[in-house]
Amino acid sequence: AAMREAGSGLKTAWRGQITGAGLGRRLANSIRSQAYPKVGESLNAAALVWSKAPVIVGAHDTGPLIRSRDGFWLAIPLPAAGRGRRGAKLTPGEWERRRGMRLRFVYRRRGPSLLVAEGRLNTKGLGVASRSKTGRGRATVPIFLLVPQVKLPKRLDLDRDAERALDSVPGLILANWLETRL
């Protein structure tokens, strides 16, 4: 009973941390717990708490440095880029295929470089091709920010809650033992 209590308490604490950090209810619900043995009592009882999305949770727990695969640039879509299928973020190649426009690289000495398109912003704020023959409304629209690397901020401290749960186990065992005695 004590291990079941400690496991569920740790699960609740981790879920609270994840939602408190603004990472969403779905990621918080990926935290699971299991007590062993599943039924009955045992002197070798244990509790296991884990995540069904360990890579995402681990990244927010450690705060890693993210670099591009080939060592060039990370393309961060701006609002003018819009969204891809099922709300996914677009890549520069996919954006060019969908819009039928070429992206141009703009190097900036200060701040991140840009990928821009020669077009216009539509009423929804998305970069689209200008159909005007005279060039009215045409503008250089920034579509992607290009950065060499990004440092993900450390938003979680799961080890702190795990240590608290571990420290609470002797007290929980004693409380449950006294409860069954009385």
Q: What are the mean pLDDT values of the chain's consecutive 10-residue runs (182 residues total)?
A: 91 94 92 90 89 93 86 86 79 85 88 84 70 71 88 90 92 82 64
Q: Is the dihedral of CA 161, 162, 166, 167 positive or negative?
A: negative
Asked if 51 contacts 31 with a C-beta cutoff of 8 angstroms, the reply is yes
Q: What is the SS3 assignment for 109?
A: coil
pLDDT number for residue 42: 83
pLDDT number for residue 39: 84
Ramachandran assignment for 166, one of left (phi > 0), alpha (psi -120 to 50 degrees), beta (any other): alpha
Q: Which residues pair with 47 in a beta bridge?
A: 35
Ramachandran assignment for 111, one of left (phi > 0), alpha (psi -120 to 50 degrees), beta (any other): left
User: Do you know the residue count of the chain?
Assistant: 182
- d(C-alpha 110, C-alpha 13), whole Å: 42
pLDDT number for residue 81: 82
Q: What is the SS3 assignment for 154?
A: coil
Q: Which residues pair with 32 in a beta bridge?
A: 50
pLDDT number for residue 176: 82
pLDDT number for residue 137: 67
pLDDT number for residue 160: 92
**Omega of the bond prior to 148 within 30 degrees of 0, cis?**
no
pLDDT number for residue 182: 63
Element (H, E) at 169: helix 158-181
